[in-house]
Structure 1
């Protein structure tokens, strides 16, 4: 049985879901802290709000989309299309939907779009983020280090 994935623009009522997706990206890190559940929840809310505000201010023209699986929200994909690149601001799935090909599918779609437009695809990733293995497999290469982040790039002519 094939499950249908789709994208739709985020809506104001998605904020709780988007925060849940963000929380899933921080769960492993927060599991190692001695904080209470309330402290972890407050931290996630504060960090999500800061990230959300930053993205909307710095990338006002970006596409902010919810990833749907059979009509059910399972993740988010934020992309900023520029003259020379497609910048993936964020791609994240709820933990139970990771490692089943959904993220790879959207990365391939973006790579195909970039190839047709003669653009690079770039994404920042934390050095030790497990998703980095996916980017490596999909042909992304490190091009710049910035503290704990790595800027990775994919180019059709280098793939």
Structure 2
């Protein structure tokens, strides 16, 4: 079985899948509110549409991609490249693809690009996101505490240090 992630451009036909990825990322949060399923669904749709619109408007020219594993859509990866930075706008995998090294593989590829091009790699991460440990192991540092989120970055480092920072891990992104 080849669990190597392949990326393809997201299109309008992917919106339903992208919504399902978004909804999966909010399950734990919504489990704590006393809403019925219809209320949760309405809330998720509104939030997804707002996020999708925000990303489209504020990250013009970004790569909005679907993560594909063994021919099946498994998540989303949104990257915004600038001359000095690669911003990970969003990286989310469906639950069944987490903790398998897929997210770590995607991150290493992004970090390698940052190294090759001399650009820092940045991401906003929720404070209680389990993937925070993975980002830290891969060399990301908290640059700013924004309350609910940390703004993290990994500056371009020498290739020898990059290998040491990547150590094996099965943690994955959410």
- TM-score tier after normalising by the smaller chain length: over 0.9
Who is 1:27 aligned against?
27
Who is 1:61 aligned against?
61
Give ranges in structure 2 of 5+ residues lacking alignment: 163-174
**Residues 116-151 of structure 1 deviation map (CA, whole Å, 9 limit, x = unaligned):** 000100000111111211111211110011221110
**Residues 42-101 of structure 1 deviation map (CA, whole Å, 9 limit, x = unaligned):** 111110000000000001110000000011100000000001110000000011111111
8 Å Cα contact 2:3/2:102 also seen in 1:
no
SS in structure 2 of the partner of residue 139 of structure 1: coil
Shift of 1:3: 2.6
Paired residues in the alignment total: 159
8 Å Cα contact 1:9/1:63 also seen in 2:
yes
Q: Does 1:105 align with 2:105?
A: yes
Structure with the bigger RCO (C-alpha within 8 Å, sep 6+) is 2
Who is 1:139 aligned against?
139
Who is 2:169 aligned against?
none
Who is 1:123 aligned against?
123
8 Å Cα contact 1:65/1:76 also seen in 2:
yes
8 Å Cα contact 1:21/1:92 also seen in 2:
yes
8 Å Cα contact 1:67/1:75 also seen in 2:
yes
8 Å Cα contact 2:4/2:102 also seen in 1:
no
Give ranges in structure 1 of 5+ residues lacking alignment: none
Cα RMSD after superposing both structures: 1.2
8 Å Cα contact 2:5/2:106 also seen in 1:
no
8 Å Cα contact 1:5/1:71 also seen in 2:
no
Who is 2:40 aligned against?
40
- Residues 115-124 or 141-150, more deviating: 141-150
TM-score (norm 2): 0.88
TM-score (norm 1): 0.96
8 Å Cα contact 1:145/1:151 also seen in 2:
yes
- Residues 19-28 or 148-157, more deviating: 148-157
- Residues 74-83 or 124-133, more deviating: 124-133
